Amino acid sequence: MAAAGSTPFNYQARPNPDPQEYYTHIMLCHARLYVFVDCYGVVALMRLARYKLGQTLVRFTLHDERVEDVVKLIEYCFANPTPDDLHSLVSMYAACKVEQLHRSTNFRLLLAAHSELSAASLERSWRDWPTKLEGN
């Protein structure tokens, strides 16, 4: 059993030092798996998928060339029926990176289309970012 505050998962996301390294597929894989297993109530796999996505975002260096990777993740989470927990995780990440993401026209279009991503919502999410991302 894992100690309080730790995780039972033995996983550490790989950093992305190369700005040319495409990460959309990695982020979307974790998000899509989370949504899929949520439909079937496979709680342990949901937790693992959420944890892996969170760890990927924590370790992810948001190079200017990789902004659209994150925008595609945000678009997936807000343009499709996804669990609130996934919305929250992705919103919190966007809150932390809003200045860099806001340079993207596609991100600004998402902000306009989805009120959940409004500046006020992102600001509220910011307070919970460290604990939510770690899955606590």
Which pLDDT does position 114 carry in this prediction?
82
Which pLDDT does position 120 carry in this prediction?
45
Q: With 0.85 as the threshold, say if the pTM is over it.
A: no
Neighbouring residues of 122: CB distance < 8 A, sequence distance ≥ 6: 91, 94, 95, 98
State the virtual CA torsion across 46, 48, 53, 58 in degrees, nearest 10: 140
58, burial (CB in 10 Å: exposed 0-12, middle 13-18, buried 19+): middle
Domain ranges of the chain: 24-133
Q: Using one digit for the tens of pLDDT, what is the confidence trace for 23-34?
A: 999 999 999 999
Asked whether the beta carbons of 78 and 114 are under 8 A apart, the reply is yes
